[in-house]
Structure 1
Amino acid sequence: MNTRRQFLQSSAVIAAPMLVNAKAFSDDSPSNRINVAFIGTGNQGMGMLRRFLNAELGNVLAVCDVNEGSYGYKEPDHFYGATPAKQLVEANNAKRSKSGAAAQCHAYSDFREVLQRDDIDAVVIVVPDHWHRVITVMALEAGKDVYCEKPLTFSVADGRVMIDAVRKNDRILQTGSHERSNPISQFVCEAAKAGKIGKLTKIITKVGYNNKVGPGPGWMPMPVPKNLDYRTWLGPAPQQPYHEDRCLYRFRFNYDYSGGQITNFGAHCNDMAHWGMGLDTGGPTEVECLDAKFLPEGSLFNTATETRFRCKYANGVELLCESGEEQVQTRFEGTDGWLQTGYRGTTASDPNLLEGLPEKTKGVNDPHSSHLANFIDCVKSRSEPRAPVEVGHASAVLCHIANAMIRLFPQTGPGRVAKWDAASEQFVGDDLANRMLVREQRDPFA
């Protein structure tokens, strides 16, 4: 299979001016609308697809998922997959079409068929973390621009491969760190970076507790549903028997596919910590796990249920990340005050620090939609997006090295401080910790 395709050779598309207002993309002329495919149409994928369609950001020509369609994603009544996504797109097309005829959207189970299509300019990748590198690199080599959900990578090593693929193929990549497109997060992080609270001394980030409960020791395998291509879902991950709590939304609670809430919610709040420090592509000098709790050995879910870790940076700032009721929260503390923002609101040590704070956005202008719109803007203008590949990599690395120490905690306990060399992306003189950075992966197509 030839996985390298030339980008759509329309100079009108390549040279299109940057358009800030997503509604400007509602022009149906072929020269103005970007052709997009969605790879992964589960819980997050369907949400992103709805936002893309509502904001009229482009033409969705294809959707792809290894699940034809089923209930039971984040909630039991959520019916997602390739077929529901196809129906959603075609219903939207029929509503927008003057004739009422639905323009066809093709549904696929194999993403490689999507990448072979010369009429698709960009792909939105919303799949479990263990597939991010493979699909992203193949898409880039096929000449597609890529929106890849956070965390950008499954391992530290994945990031360098993805950076090289973006730059070698001269493609656009937007990491799905949508807080970068949230006006409130922009206000707080830029204020911290500009010294509005004095010299930064400490940043405290919060990640939510695990929001699902899986089966404990002694769980039994289940028959694979007919609608699910489980072999492909596993892909590069270890061969394991099927259980309904292994897949769909719950993949994030197993280290074979993700990194728990550290790489889920933590990919947002810790990215904001780097942003507020002005270290978009930097990293800490040391990391220490202060506490970690796990389910009994043999449970299907094996990521930490509660965590607390500390990082130090060369600029003297200390980062403390801990589990809590708040799903995402970032607090910047400086010599002259503090600023704090999260899903429950934004506060400050002095009300004057909040002067000019944007109102919370709703509808098609929410951060997810704005982040997708920024991606499409950059596909047209060929300019860098708000969360380019290097930024997504750096944020993911912070989460991965924290997880390395968290996973070692049951055998090493507190007080183990590991030195980190951001340049080499290795722990200094710590073979045990460095072994935790390696994620063995199978050939997904063997």
Structure 2
Amino acid sequence: MQNKILPPENKSSKLTRRDFIATASTAFMVPTIVPSSVFGANAPSNRINIAQIGCGNQSRADLPGMLRLEDAQVVAVCDVNKASGGYARKEHFLGRDPAQKKVNEHYAKKARSGKYQGCDAYSDFRDVLAREDIDAVMITLPDHWHALATVKACEAGKDVYCQKPMSLTVHDGQQMIKAVRKHNRILQTGSQYRSNKLVRRMCELVRNGRIGEVKRVVSIINSSGAGPGPGWKEMPVPAGFDYNMWLGPAPMAPYHSDRCFYRFRFHLDYSGGQVTNTGAHSTDIIQWALDMDGTGPVEFENQPGVVWPPKGHLYTTAMKTDFRARYANGIEFICRTQDPGFGARIEGTEGWVQFSVNNMREVEASSDAIKNSVITADEIHLPVSENHYQNFIDSVKSRKDPIEPVEAGHSTASICHLGNIAMRLKRKLKWDPEKEQFIGDDEANQMLQRPYRAPWQI
């Protein structure tokens, strides 16, 4: 049975191209094709047309990253926020209008005339998906939107670059896999450290036995705060911000500036805290090193170091994380808060290796012999990607899976979700990675899926 997504009542569930043109013809009065001189050897016929869906904090990296590619063109941006501050830093002023301006200015610098107005801006992602000239979308939305936007994009025949964590729940991830494979789409998970040469080097050291038999892995993540305290009050919704659409499938809740934009990730209704933020990166590195894509641990258990926001505070995700897991082969997995920065440490019988964002110069190791070890031609070599965005575009062209396909993104995100569930329930949980179900725990299994606010469905 085909996955069904129902939009709000004031929108049709599927826009045809004819309907879309009839209702938005003014959006196409400007040229949407960059002259071939902009792309040099990359002729327009070989160009991949991209739309950026979500113009908030992460788009500050994703949008310029895609604009720099010679064989891709950003033709549309979309966000429910017209333009405002309130993001990760006070100096950030983001939204669909600033994003549109950035794109047009970028291509104007390459145009002979010095002018370009070919990037369209939308407030509803379904209007983007209705355009037949768009080949792929970059989904840089809050986590609770990832599954809905991805499934709808696949149904519309678009390839997808979806930011990490790939999903909000295990069930959402399952639906994303079904949609990608059913519609023969490409999905790249935005876990960009798989395109980092230091991470690849560390994982190859592990894969080729330089630290001996792996015994323990540690996913090191950041801490977070508690947000506004007891007595916080609802705020008026800013002009130009469609808050109801921002909430989408999430429960209705009073607006507060610390609920949206960057700080959405500290609310369980929209994300999983640092476990699914920096933890999605460090856990993904571990999964790659252990060759565990498509599977995961069989046991999860909360640990004493977990710290939750005090009662009455706005945020609902763990301020400090501490959970333990175990793979079927006996390898112990630890996820814990250790400021500053984040990273992944892998310990074996003959030493350890570690990647840390605080040291982007080299792979740290227990000895120089491990650190300087040469991986020979006949040993295991992992796929090489020096640019996560280019890797996605290359996959769109070749129709071969990218370096972080949907199944890999799902297994990494699932570990994060399961760890959060163990911490919330405060007990040991047995997990079947094949069936993707907790063993003998109905309460835990009910937490694998979240109800969607009507009329949204997946």
Common fold: TM-score over 0.5: yes
> Equivalent residue for 1:2?
14
SS in structure 2 opposite 1:158?
A: helix
Q: Please say if residues 46 and 71 of structure 2, whose CA atoms lie closer than 8 Å, have aligned partners that are also in contact.
A: no
Cα distance in structure 2, aligned partners of 1:282 and 1:406: 21
SS in structure 1 opposite 2:271?
A: coil
C-alpha change, 1:2 and 1:330, in structure 2 (3 Å) is same
**How far is the alpha carbon of 1:444 from its aligned partner?**
5.3
Structure 2 residue runs of 5 or longer lacking an equivalent are 1-12, 18-37, 376-383
> Equivalent residue for 1:15?
none
Q: Aligned AA for 1:261? A: Q
Aligned-pair identity (%):
49
Cα distance in structure 2, aligned partners of 1:3 and 1:269: 40
Q: Please say if residues 25 and 32 of structure 1, whose CA atoms lie closer than 8 Å, have aligned partners that are also in contact.
A: no
1:377 to 384, 394, 403: 394
> Equivalent residue for 1:172?
186
Provide Cα deviations, 1:348-375, integer angstroms capped at 9, x if missing partner: 01112222799xxxxxxxx998101100
How many corresponding residue pairs?
413
Cα distance in structure 2, aligned partners of 1:80 and 1:58: 22
Q: Please say if residues 192 and 276 of structure 1, whose CA atoms lie closer than 8 Å, have aligned partners that are also in contact.
A: yes
Cα distance in structure 1, aligned partners of 2:85 and 2:71: 28
**How far is the alpha carbon of 1:408 from its aligned partner?**
1.8
> Equivalent residue for 2:430?
419
> Equivalent residue for 2:354?
340
Q: Please say if residues 286 and 313 of structure 1, whose CA atoms lie closer than 8 Å, have aligned partners that are also in contact.
A: yes
> Equivalent residue for 1:400?
417
Cα distance in structure 1, aligned partners of 2:108 and 2:374: 40
C-alpha change, 1:263 and 1:26, in structure 2 (3 Å) is farther
After the TM superposition, which of the residue ranges 56-65 and 130-139 deviates more from structure 2?
56-65
SS in structure 2 opposite 1:190?
A: helix
Q: Aligned AA for 1:133? A: A
C-alpha change, 1:272 and 1:4, in structure 2 (3 Å) is farther
> Equivalent residue for 1:364?
none
**How far is the alpha carbon of 1:155 from its aligned partner?**
0.5
> Equivalent residue for 2:444?
433
Q: Is the aligned partner of 1:199 residue 2:199?
A: no
**How far is the alpha carbon of 1:307 from its aligned partner?**
1.3
Cα distance in structure 2, aligned partners of 1:316 and 1:169: 37
Cα distance in structure 2, aligned partners of 1:354 and 1:38: 39
SS in structure 2 opposite 1:151?
A: coil
Q: Please say if residues 62 and 107 of structure 1, whose CA atoms lie closer than 8 Å, have aligned partners that are also in contact.
A: yes
> Equivalent residue for 1:223?
236
Q: Please say if residues 55 and 369 of structure 1, whose CA atoms lie closer than 8 Å, have aligned partners that are also in contact.
A: no
Q: Is the aligned partner of 1:239 residue 2:240?
A: no
Cα distance in structure 2, aligned partners of 1:355 and 1:275: 21
After the TM superposition, which of the residue ranges 121-130 and 344-353 deviates more from structure 2?
344-353
1:324 to 317, 323, 338: 338
Q: Please say if residues 49 and 72 of structure 2, whose CA atoms lie closer than 8 Å, have aligned partners that are also in contact.
A: yes
Q: Is the aligned partner of 1:278 residue 2:291?
A: yes
1:390 to 383, 386, 407: 407
> Equivalent residue for 2:30?
none
1:351 to 364, 368, 375: 368
Q: Aligned AA for 1:434? A: N
Cα distance in structure 2, aligned partners of 1:166 and 1:3: 20
Q: Aligned AA for 2:164? A: K
SS in structure 1 opposite 2:321?
A: strand
Cα distance in structure 2, aligned partners of 1:4 and 1:381: 28
Cα distance in structure 1, aligned partners of 2:277 and 2:143: 10
C-alpha change, 1:231 and 1:433, in structure 2 (3 Å) is same
Q: Is the aligned partner of 1:113 residue 2:124?
A: no
Q: Is the aligned partner of 1:52 residue 2:66?
A: yes
Cα distance in structure 2, aligned partners of 1:34 and 1:294: 44
Matches within 5 A, 1:143-158: 143-158=157-172
> Equivalent residue for 1:162?
176
**How far is the alpha carbon of 1:55 from its aligned partner?**
3.6
User: TM-score, normalized by length of structure 1?
Assistant: 0.89
SS in structure 2 opposite 1:186?
A: helix
> Equivalent residue for 2:29?
none
Cα distance in structure 1, aligned partners of 2:182 and 2:80: 29
* Backbone CA RMSD of aligned residues: 2.0
C-alpha change, 1:199 and 1:368, in structure 2 (3 Å) is closer
Provide Cα deviations, 1:364-407, integer angstroms capped at 9, x if missing partner: xxx99810110001001111100000000000110011000111
**How far is the alpha carbon of 1:71 from its aligned partner?**
1.1
User: TM-score, normalized by length of structure 2?
Assistant: 0.87
Q: Please say if residues 216 and 347 of structure 2, whose CA atoms lie closer than 8 Å, have aligned partners that are also in contact.
A: yes
**How far is the alpha carbon of 1:273 from its aligned partner?**
1.3
SS in structure 2 opposite 1:174?
A: strand
Q: Aligned AA for 1:2? A: K
Q: Aligned AA for 1:96? A: K
> Equivalent residue for 2:272?
259
Q: Please say if residues 194 and 385 of structure 2, whose CA atoms lie closer than 8 Å, have aligned partners that are also in contact.
A: no
C-alpha change, 1:94 and 1:357, in structure 2 (3 Å) is farther
Structure 1 runs of 4+ off > 6 angstroms? none
Cα distance in structure 1, aligned partners of 2:180 and 2:45: 24
